[in-house]
Amino acid sequence: MRCAATAEAAISEMGAHDDWSGFLIDVGLGQWNRAGLDVLAAARRVFPSVPAALVTASNERDIINRAASLSASFLCKPFGPTEIAAFLERVTAAEAGIDERLEGRLSALARRWDLAPKETEILAWLIAGRTRENYLVRSGSTALTWRVHVGRLLKKAGTARTSDLVTAVLRDEARALARRRT
């Protein structure tokens, strides 16, 4: 996580890194009333596919429309854990390489099974076909941490193995697609 107190600092920070997973930007960043919109526009020019959410206490139409035109989610203050969790699930899915069609399924399963953020991250990783070893390297987690989180995930999902879990998720999504087409 990286933080900035001004729009200039945020844009500078953006340019200094290329490993962004998501952007959570306050409209009122710094001293200028709508500086966060400029930061969002700068983020979109360089990182168009990275999930972004704009945070504000305002419900002004032009701010909402600008956020939508820049493909950003919109979070109105005050917001709670449910709202931020939905955005973080999008970030997790995008980082894992989950297809947008499966993103909604991941979010629904995370809520249905009451998954912790790390469990949701691991589920996304597995659905994307990524390996345990790659996850451990990327996350800096230990094999023991992986086993603990995967064990909890499997228990909540009611499956015995990760391959069964992935198969069940993909089969569920295929059924949902078939229902939508009929």
For the chain, the domains span 7-76, 85-181
For the chain, where are the alpha helices, taking DSSP H only? 7-16, 35-46, 61-69, 81-96, 100-112, 117-127, 132-139, 143-157, 162-181
- pTM exceeds 0.85, yes or no: no
Q: What is the pLDDT of residue 169?
A: 85
What are 69-125's pLDDT values in tens digits?
888 888 888 888 888 887 887 887 777 777 767 777 888 888 899 999 899 989 988
Residue whose entry in the numeric block shows the structure tokens 């069964």? 164
Domain 7-76, classified CATH 3.30.559.10, yes or no = no
Q: Which two tokens stand for residue 73?
A: 């989610």
Q: What is the pLDDT of residue 170?
A: 84
Say yes or no to pLDDT of 159 above 90: yes
Q: Please, which pLDDT band fits residue 145 given cuts at 50, 70 and 90?
A: very high
